[in-house]
Amino acid sequence: MPRHPKKPRRLVADGREYLWTLRHGHRVLDSGRSADCRETLTLYPQPAGTDGPLRIVFADGPGRYVPGGAPLGSGDVGFIRGADLNLHEPGAVRALLDVALARGWRPGERRAVELDGWTLLEEAAAARAGGAAAGDAGDAGGAGPAGP
């Protein structure tokens, strides 16, 4: 049975559990057309209610792509000439979390923290590519669906 796309997924990193979700959003123009696509990856440190979430936002812009429909796949974000990730892959989520932690984000803040995902992408993609080259796809270590 396929996983429900809106159900949070579980990720364990360095002994800490997180639930994570991925949402696509955009602004609707007066004409009814979509504009300003964005993917928001949100990680919720567990247990719930103890810490504020981390939101990693990838907003559409020059030289970047954010899935807004065909021909791009859901969750694909990247630079037109450069690094990319699929935000549905637990290994990609883990790589982004690791970069955010290395750059100073700490679970424990009571408020939500929002980061520009584009500033994390190249380092996370490089770490992900290095892990895959070493035979570690980065999807192990407790990554998977949340709950029963």
Give, in degrees to the nearest 5, the angle at Cα 14 between 10 and 19.
20
**Global confidence as pTM:** 0.81
Single-letter code of the amino acid located at 112: A
Q: What is the mean pLDDT of residues 58-77?
A: 81
Residues 53/43, Cβ–Cβ less than 8 Å:
yes
Per-residue pLDDT band for 144 (boundaries 50, 70, 90) equals very low
Residue 64 CA to residue 108 CA, distance in Å, equals 32
| Maximum alpha-carbon separation in the chain | 50
Beta carbons within 10 angstroms of residue 126's beta carbon? 13
Q: What is the mean pLDDT of residues 12-41?
A: 86
Residue 134 pLDDT > 80: no
Per-residue pLDDT band for 49 (boundaries 50, 70, 90) equals confident
The more confident residue out of 33 and 134 is 33
Upstream peptide bond of 148 is cis (omega within 30 degrees of 0) = no
Residue 43 pLDDT > 50: yes
The more confident residue out of 47 and 138 is 47
Q: What is the mean pLDDT of residues 59-87?
A: 85
State the pLDDT at residue 143.
42
Best CA proximity match to 49, nearest among 100, 96, 111: 111
Residue 132 pLDDT > 50: yes
Helix axes 118-133, 90-102, angle to 10 degrees: 120
